[in-house]
Structure 1
């Protein structure tokens, strides 16, 4: 189980670095929103890997809350961005 957790952590870290580059270099607001939403999903996945590795289920509400905040934030920014373009 330790090897699988380490491989998952390395892959999530690599994906987070690539996503951080997309957030910083994104030419538009919507590119940055997609990057931040992806980073929130990666954080949720990281917490899920930690919960599986440590057999600790107390982080599951944090995973749900982080996913909800990421979705609502992306939906709000997209809604206001579309309204500004009209």
Structure 2
């Protein structure tokens, strides 16, 4: 594969990640209830993982794979704990 095409594809992916980060941060800030905010945070965790995978492809450095695993575990635990102890917003 041509390195210029490879780098252009990674640049496009990074641009889409930046756009999606902005949209989910907007959802976290403006979200009308706590479930919308929780989904925004969960999406942010997923995008951080995908951004780290893109970084691995870009730099060919796999040392951040441990960071990806920690982020995945923290995102899972936080989603489960909030879903377990959540009460209705109006009550």
- TM-score w.r.t. length of structure 1: 0.92
Q: CA RMSD in A?
A: 1.3
Runs of 4+ in 1 over 2 A off after TM superposition: none
Following superposition, the deviation at residue 46 of structure 1 comes to 0.4
1:14 aligned residue: 19
Mark the structure with the bigger radius of gyration: 2
Structure-2 separation of matches of 1:49 and 1:4: 10
Is 1:54 the counterpart of 2:59? The answer is yes
Distance of 1:4 and 1:56 partners within structure 2: 18
CA–CA distance in structure 1, aligned partners of residues 83 and 7 of structure 2: 39
Q: Which runs of 5+ in 2 are unaligned?
A: 1-5
TM normalised by structure 2 equals 0.87
Matched residue, 1:2: 7
Unmatched tracts of structure 1, length 5 or more: none
Q: Deviations over 1:25-73 (max 9, x none)?
A: 1011111001000001001100100011100011111111101111110
